């Protein structure tokens, strides 16, 4: 197995473990033990616990973008609602908490986490803007609409992490989707 394959396999195992058990106060050694490797291998591949967690967030976000592109819907509103339902799946709550925890640390400049800021908005704006352009919006307006949609989605996910009130955040998202669809 090549080095990149080993890194990818380890990352997949850590993502799977954290999605089932959450991060809590796990140390790098505890994470390593949970995925049957050593903390030295995790450091070798990811540099630090923070580096590993940044890669976990990137992998989860990539999976979410792949999910978005795989959804089939009759219209924009249906697509948005399907995606929102997927994002609010309780199985993702640990990933969402981790995302916001690391996002805050990266925004504060915490060593080892700042790489998360690279593309954290842009990686979503373009695929969402593509949907908006397909709906007939000019490129500049499509990008603004995409950025607004991303901001509202992240804000409501943060609300969900803080309150665990799926009904309220879903009602707010449904209203936003209706607003954006009209």
36-56 pLDDT, tens digit each: 999 999 999 999 999 999 999
pLDDT of residue 51: 93
Mean pLDDT of 164-176: 98
Least confident window among 20-24, 112-116, 139-143, 145-149: 20-24
pLDDT of residue 92: 87
Closest CA to 156 of 181, 177, 141: 177
Of how many residues is the chain composed? 182
Mean pLDDT of 94-112: 89
Residue carrying the six token digits 């590993």: 52
Q: Residue 135 pLDDT more than 80?
A: yes
Torsion-angle region of 95 (φ positive above 0: left; ψ -120 to 50: alpha; else: beta) = alpha
- Could you tell me the residue ranges of all domains in the chain? 3-181
* CB contact at 8 A, 94 and 22: yes
pLDDT of residue 182: 83
Residue carrying the six token digits 């090549």: 2
Superfamily of domain 3-181: Tetracycline Repressor, domain 2 (1.10.357.10)
Closest CA to 182 of 88, 99, 86, 76: 76
Residues 6 or more apart whose CB falls under 8 angstroms from that of 160 comprise: 88, 93, 96, 166, 169
Residues 6 or more apart whose CB falls under 8 angstroms from that of 56 comprise: 11, 14, 15, 18, 95, 98
Closest CA to 57 of 133, 111, 117, 108: 117
Closest CA to 131 of 78, 59, 61, 63: 78
* CB contact at 8 A, 98 and 53: yes
The pLDDT confidence band at residue 73, using thresholds 50, 70 and 90, is confident
C-alpha to C-alpha distances, 170 to 70, 80, 84, 174, nearest whole angstrom:
21, 11, 8, 6
pLDDT of residue 141: 97
What the block records as the tokens of 41 is 């291998």
Report the C-alpha gap between 121 and 151 in whole angstroms: 9
The pLDDT confidence band at residue 24, using thresholds 50, 70 and 90, is confident
The pLDDT confidence band at residue 130, using thresholds 50, 70 and 90, is very high
Report the range out of 53-62, 105-114, 165-174 with the highest average pLDDT: 165-174
Residue carrying the six token digits 């500049």: 140
Q: Residue 1 pLDDT more than 80?
A: no
pLDDT of residue 98: 87
pLDDT of residue 94: 85
pLDDT of residue 19: 80
Q: Residue 17 pLDDT more than 90?
A: no
């Amino acid at each position: 197995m090549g080095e990149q394959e080993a890194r990818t396999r380890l990352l997949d195992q850590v993502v799977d473990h954290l999605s089932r058990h959450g991060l809590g106060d796990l140390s790098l050694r505890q994470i390593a033990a949970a995925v049957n490797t050593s903390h030295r291998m995790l450091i070798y591949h990811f540099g630090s616990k923070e580096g590993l967690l940044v890669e976990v967030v990137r992998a989860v976000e990539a999976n979410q973008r792949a999910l978005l592109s795989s959804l089939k819907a009759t219209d924009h509103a249906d697509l948005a609602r399907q995606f929102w339902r997927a994002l609010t799946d309780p199985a993702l709550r640990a990933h969402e908490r981790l995302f916001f925890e690391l996002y805050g640390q990266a925004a504060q400049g915490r060593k080892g986490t700042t790489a998360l800021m690279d593309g954290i908005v842009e990686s979503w704006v373009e695929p969402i803007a593509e949907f908006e352009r397909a709906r007939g919006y000019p490129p500049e307006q499509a990008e603004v609409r995409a950025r607004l949609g991303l901001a509202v989605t992240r804000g409501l996910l943060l609300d969900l992490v803080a309150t665990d009130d799926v009904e309220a955040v879903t009602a707010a998202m449904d209203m936003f989707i209706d607003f954006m669809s009209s």
